[in-house]
Structure 1
Amino acid sequence: MNLQSKLNAAQKSFESWKKVPFSNRQKLLLKLADKLEKNSESLGKIITKEMNKPISQSIAEIKKCALMCSYYANAENILKPEKIKTEYRISEIHYVPKGVILGVMPWNFPFWQVLRFAVPAILAGNAVVLKHASICFGSGNRIEKLFLEAGFPKGIFQNLEIGHEEVTKVLENPIVRGVSLTGSEKAGAEVAATAGRNIKKSLLELGGSDAFIVLDDANFKKAAESGAKARLQNCGQACNAGKRFIIQKNIEKEFLPIFIKEYQKYIPGKPLKKDTLIAGMARPDLADELEMQYKKALKNGAEVILPLKRISPNEFMPGLIKVKSGNPILEEELFGPLGMVMIAKNDEEALKLANDIPFGLSNSVWTKDKKRQQFFIENLESGTVSVNKESSSDPRLPFGGAKSSGYGTELSLIALKEFVTVKTVVGN
């Protein structure tokens, strides 16, 4: 089937799907959740083979997808018409699905990124076409099959095996009514520009360089364990990973050795072994890029705490560097097993360092003091603030960014309203 035929099939499917009651759509989501849960091992292997994620993390990704599908399958229908009190006999707000929505998705979480966009969009009554990363076509095709196996109509979710150059063509097609992209700032800007020129809704979930702030009254052991996991899970290839460890000056000597000890537990292993904590990066060219960024940081004054040591075309012994304000590396996202340590005198300086970057995705702060917690909750410029835990997404809670980390909301009930048209109905 050619591209136009696939888009025609999506439109045809949407025309009937939008009339299916919300509760009936939810029943199919329960079946999808069940299929994901029951096949988590075999589906996890697809992820590991495509992008090197350790198998235990791949299986956990599938199980999280199942959990998210269950959440939406049991969610309240916030899209039913709302009655508003006015002097008119009829006064209502209706939420109408937009139509066919394009998803442009990355390789780092090949199932989770796709499903967390697609599930609320489809539950809201839309149809979805996917442009997955070129190394994840196997994941994309398997997700399409899962939707069919769960009983969703043909054409409601389709994987398009296309390259980047065809994204513009798909987005310009009159059938497509919106786009959700998870990826780099550059890719996001291009897709948003195309969507804007064609008056189409866009949602962008872009990069991050999240702060992980450790203050002097934190639980050092928990913060160190959580910090190493926050930076090195998925080989450091996560937009909301802890990337800049801002440590209060008076605890540097005590906390840093505990953190380094936890960090050194992540030794590259075979991705298909269940006890492997970290494996190689998804592609050798991505490893090349990280190595260049490491050299750039050092050239601009960063100090080595743990060297980023390359042991194969796509594997590193994880690195840790000490970075000061003004280093140009702080304007970039480090996507891989390299962390940055920064030192702050007090809460005000820690906040300034945390906010002084182009991104604003998800910050984490470690302190037992509720007043200090509140100071950071109110003043950190990010879509999420995590307190005494590493950042992670949760189906029940909204996920999105501030500043150059994008706009729009994924997850939670709010995501159900991302790709709908709000229609006012009023009269006597």
Structure 2
Amino acid sequence: MNSSFHSIDAALSTNPSNGDVIGRYPYESIEHLDRSVGLSMQGFKAWSGTTVQTRLDMLARMAAVLRRDIEALARMATREMGKPIVQARAEVEKCAVLCDWYAQNGAAILGDQSTAIGEQAYVSYLPLGPVLAVMPWNFPYWQVLRGAVPILLGGNAYVLKHAPNVMGCAYLVEAAWLEAGVPPGAFSVLNITPELVAKAIVDPRIAAVAVTGSVRAGSAIAAQAGAALKKTVLELGGSDPFIVLADADLESAVKAAVVGRFQNTGQICIAAKRIILEAPIAAAFTERFVQAVSALQIGDPADETTYIGPMARYDLRDELDTQVQRTVEAGAEVLLGASKMAGKGNYYEPTVLAGVRPGMVAFDQETFGPVAALTVAESVDDAIDLANNSEFGLSGALWTQNKDLARQLARRVDTGGIFVNGFSASDPRVPIGGVKKSGYGRELSHYGVHEFMNAQTVWFDRT
């Protein structure tokens, strides 16, 4: 079985269900990179000169293209990274909804902003140029479009460096944008090695850089961009707390925790990775949670009934298993799973670990797969302290029926988002982003547009 996701000279698209290579994409040369960046600059000049209404109309067409091709797009994601087909369709539809929202609200976001000075001064939002985006594989469409839609709406060009194991998805997205009406080069795909990514970052024609990925990748790219004085937005790792207080609606909290941890086979930055339970309800929650997780359907991601598919890459499955075993060796209790599944494919048993504490790998590190870590807190304050005992700060959830208490506690949790009586999710109407080693900057909402724009002050007749 060939489980590689790249070779010396090419990116390989490998079906994680069986290891079959389904696509081979030779890496592009430095000469091709130069031509591609040059084309993106031409695309930027053409696109930035269009009216806002032209861009809004394009987004509406993009939504229609995505919905028309939803089955082909979804099946490519299922084949390339193992996403269960029902969830893959939902991802494509979410991208269409994203286009709809910006098509309806983009004019207000891009309008001139008044100031305290009055009519004499205002702020205009102007595009910066081509934005290089280094994106991950776990949501091969959503991760791309949630950045590309606001960036393109602002009149910038978008240059995609996608993960090597989902290049088929990357080229489908590029074709959709061209059909929707962006000029050639305004959205483009690079298939290049990390060494050439570094050269792209420092190319003077690249105006800024967006990264979604690991802390290591984000740190390296940010250093390169910083040396070239390029703006960056980073959405990096997460180890999100899912806090359940004693007065929570237990049945709803359990259902949300299962979805929040195990959808997309647990391969989500904002997944409920550390479930922190206030002591009085810990036993009851744990019993119901284990029962619900054990009922999840594991199997072929192309099967409509599958909820847990294979992990996207064999090396990531091995890394996850090492994290689980080290956590168990440190004293955690295995309530469910905790091993690789036999047979073809990168399958890992849905796993629940109890008694996970600070200092254990599953508490301290990000676990990117179908593994839930349960921790008991002795009090509300202890729960907040445990939640903040992390180098990450992406998102989190808080379950309590006391909304006033929830508002107070939300301000004490060091994350970019808190979802009260729900699980973390991304939505075009609100920003997403993190603090600490989860990165900086924001995507979505008006923030995602303005991050990559020049806020230009225009002041008349100042005396």
Q: CA deviation at 1:91?
A: 2.4
Match of 1:128 in 2: 158
For residues 92-149 of structure 1, what are the alpha-carbon distances to aligned partners after superposition, in whole Å with 9 as ceiling and x for unaligned?
3222111010000000000000000111001001001100000111111111100111
Conserved 8 A contact 1:22-1:77: no
* 2:416 is aligned with 1:383: yes
5+ residue gaps in structure 1?
Answer: none
Return closer, same or farther for 1:90/1:367 CA change in 2, 3 Å cut-off: closer
1:372 and 1:424 mapped to 2: Cα distance?
41
Q: CA deviation at 1:330?
A: 2.4
Conserved 8 A contact 1:204-1:406: yes
Conserved 8 A contact 1:127-1:155: yes
Aligned mate of 1:79, from 107, 110, 121: 110
* 2:279 is aligned with 1:249: yes
Conserved 8 A contact 2:297-2:305: no
Match of 2:295 in 1: 265
Match of 1:12 in 2: 42
Q: How does 1:37-116 map to 2 (within 5 A)?
A: 37-75=67-105, 76-84=107-115, 86=117, 90-116=120-146
Aligned mate of 2:57, from 27, 42, 45: 27
2:153 and 2:407 mapped to 1: Cα distance?
36
Instruction: Give the stretch that moved more between structures: 91-100 or 269-278.
Output: 91-100
* 2:373 is aligned with 1:316: no
Conserved 8 A contact 2:362-2:373: no
5+ residue gaps in structure 2?
Answer: 1-30
DSSP 3-state at the match of 1:373: helix
For residues 361-412 of structure 1, what are the alpha-carbon distances to aligned partners after superposition, in whole Å with 9 as ceiling and x for unaligned?
1110111112321232121111110011111111111111111111111111
State the one-letter code of the partner of 2:40: A
Conserved 8 A contact 2:309-2:347: yes
1:350 and 1:303 mapped to 2: Cα distance?
20
1:116 and 1:207 mapped to 2: Cα distance?
17
For residues 188-220 of structure 1, what are the alpha-carbon distances to aligned partners after superposition, in whole Å with 9 as ceiling and x for unaligned?
000100110000000000111011111111111
Q: How does 1:217-366 map to 2 (within 5 A)?
A: 217-312=247-342, 313-322=345-354, 323-366=356-399
1:84 and 1:248 mapped to 2: Cα distance?
47
1:162 and 1:268 mapped to 2: Cα distance?
34
Aligned mate of 2:202, from 160, 172, 182: 172
DSSP 3-state at the match of 1:317: coil
* 2:430 is aligned with 1:397: yes
For residues 293-335 of structure 1, what are the alpha-carbon distances to aligned partners after superposition, in whole Å with 9 as ceiling and x for unaligned?
1111122222222231211451122111120223244221000
RMSD: 1.4
Conserved 8 A contact 2:393-2:437: yes
State the one-letter code of the partner of 2:152: I
State the one-letter code of the partner of 1:256: T
DSSP 3-state at the match of 1:311: coil
Instruction: Give the stretch that moved more between structures: 169-178 or 371-380.
Output: 371-380
1:85 and 1:309 mapped to 2: Cα distance?
61
State the one-letter code of the partner of 1:150: A
DSSP 3-state at the match of 2:109: coil
Conserved 8 A contact 1:214-1:365: yes
Q: CA deviation at 1:163?
A: 2.2
DSSP 3-state at the match of 2:426: coil
State the one-letter code of the partner of 1:240: I
1:17 and 1:310 mapped to 2: Cα distance?
48
For residues 231-287 of structure 1, what are the alpha-carbon distances to aligned partners after superposition, in whole Å with 9 as ceiling and x for unaligned?
110010000000111111111222211111111122321100111111110011110
1:116 and 1:162 mapped to 2: Cα distance?
22
Match of 2:25 in 1: none
2:330 and 2:194 mapped to 1: Cα distance?
34
State the one-letter code of the partner of 2:346: N
1:254 and 1:119 mapped to 2: Cα distance?
43
**TM-score (norm. length: structure 2):** 0.90
1:62 and 1:307 mapped to 2: Cα distance?
31
Residue correspondences, number: 427
Q: CA deviation at 1:83?
A: 4.2
Conserved 8 A contact 1:134-1:163: no
Could you tell me the percent identity over the aligned residues?
A: 40
Return closer, same or farther for 1:92/1:363 CA change in 2, 3 Å cut-off: same
DSSP 3-state at the match of 2:341: strand
* 2:240 is aligned with 1:210: yes
1:243 and 1:96 mapped to 2: Cα distance?
39
1:80 and 1:307 mapped to 2: Cα distance?
53
Instruction: Give the stretch that moved more between structures: 273-282 or 328-337.
Output: 328-337
Conserved 8 A contact 2:357-2:363: no
Conserved 8 A contact 2:260-2:272: yes
Return closer, same or farther for 1:84/1:309 CA change in 2, 3 Å cut-off: closer
Instruction: Give the stretch that moved more between structures: 175-184 or 418-427.
Output: 418-427
1:185 and 1:201 mapped to 2: Cα distance?
17
Q: CA deviation at 1:81?
A: 2.7
Q: How does 1:140-159 map to 2 (within 5 A)?
A: 140-159=170-189
Instruction: Give the stretch that moved more between structures: 251-260 or 50-59.
Output: 251-260
Instruction: Give the stretch that moved more between structures: 264-273 or 300-309.
Output: 300-309
2:392 and 2:448 mapped to 1: Cα distance?
22
